[in-house]
């Protein structure tokens, strides 16, 4: 039996698509590690459910309830059939104390999530929907794939709409503008190709100046 199967046999549970693992505000003292499948992490903003991130195999979530012993700060909903390891406080404590590699990995992931949260806050402070879409794309470059001609990024307007709180039609409108300006182009294998991120950043600076001072 493989190690992953042994772990699932001991800690695992299978969840069907649409299952709410937990809701924002719930009391809980377990964290989850995804062996397979996908899970959406969501948060309420102005009575609307916003998508924060979609997590896949190898990712973990729900750890803050163990670390700070407070109600869930976000919700978790299964997107695809998911095999999750359910880790309680005692097991979590033993993992961290007994394996420095796990502790370091967790610190790195938590630091990354903090950075992403800062980026989202910065995005929400922008009033103009053009600026918010371009701002998101510039940040997405660091997570993209380097290919001939630029950086390939995966942009789903529907998911982006949930993430930054802008209508899909407005997102499509901004993407069309960027395509016409040749700042991005559609890739043959799907996704968007960003030629030069510096040009995109310059355009963002222009939009922010326009938002601040208006048309002169």
132-173 per-position pLDDT tens digit: 899 988 988 888 888 888 888 888 888 788 777 788 899 899
Is a pLDDT exceeding 80 seen at residue 48? no
Break the chain into its structural domains and give their ranges. 3-123, 128-213
The superfamily CATH assigns to domain 3-123 is Jelly Rolls (2.60.120.10)
| Chain mean pLDDT for the chain | 86
What CATH architecture is 128-213?
Orthogonal Bundle (1.10)
Distance, in Å, from the CA atom of 153 to the CA atom of 159, rounded to the nearest integer, reads: 14
- Give the largest CA-CA distance in the chain: 70
pLDDT for position 62: 92
Which pLDDT belongs to residue 26?
92
DSSP characters over 144-182: SEEETTEEEE---HHHHHHHHT--HHHHHHHHHHHHHTT
Query: pLDDT higher for 213 or 158?
Result: 158
User: What's the predicted TM-score (pTM) here?
Assistant: 0.65
The 10 Å Cβ neighbour count of residue 143 is 10
Vertex 57, ends 51 and 63: CA angle to 5°? 65
The DSSP output letter for 25 is T
pLDDT of residue 46: 66
């Amino acid at each position: 039996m493989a190690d992953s199967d042994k772990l699932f046999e001991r800690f695992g549970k299978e969840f069907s698509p649409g299952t709410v693992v937990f809701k924002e505000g719930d009391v809980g003292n377990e964290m989850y590690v995804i062996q397979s499948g996908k899970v959406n992490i969501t948060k309420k903003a102005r009575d609307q459910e916003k998508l924060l991130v979609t997590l896949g195999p190898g990712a973990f979530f729900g750890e803050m309830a163990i670390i700070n012993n407070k109600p869930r700060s976000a919700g978790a909903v299964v997107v695809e059939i998911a095999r999750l390891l359910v880790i309680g406080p005692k097991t979590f404590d033993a993992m961290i104390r007994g394996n420095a590699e796990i502790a370091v990995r967790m610190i790195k992931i938590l630091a990354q999530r903090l950075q992403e949260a800062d980026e989202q806050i910065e995005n929400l402070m922008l009033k103009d929907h053009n600026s918010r879409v371009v701002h998101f794309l510039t940040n997405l470059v660091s997570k993209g794939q380097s290919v001939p001609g630029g950086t390939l990024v995966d942009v789903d307007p529907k998911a982006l709409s949930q993430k930054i709180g802008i209508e899909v039609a407005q997102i499509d409108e901004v993407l069309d503008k960027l395509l016409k300006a040749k700042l991005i182009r559609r890739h043959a294998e799907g996704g968007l190709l960003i030629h030069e991120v510096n040009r995109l950043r310059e355009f963002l600076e222009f939009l922010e100046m326009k938002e601040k001072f208006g048309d002169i």
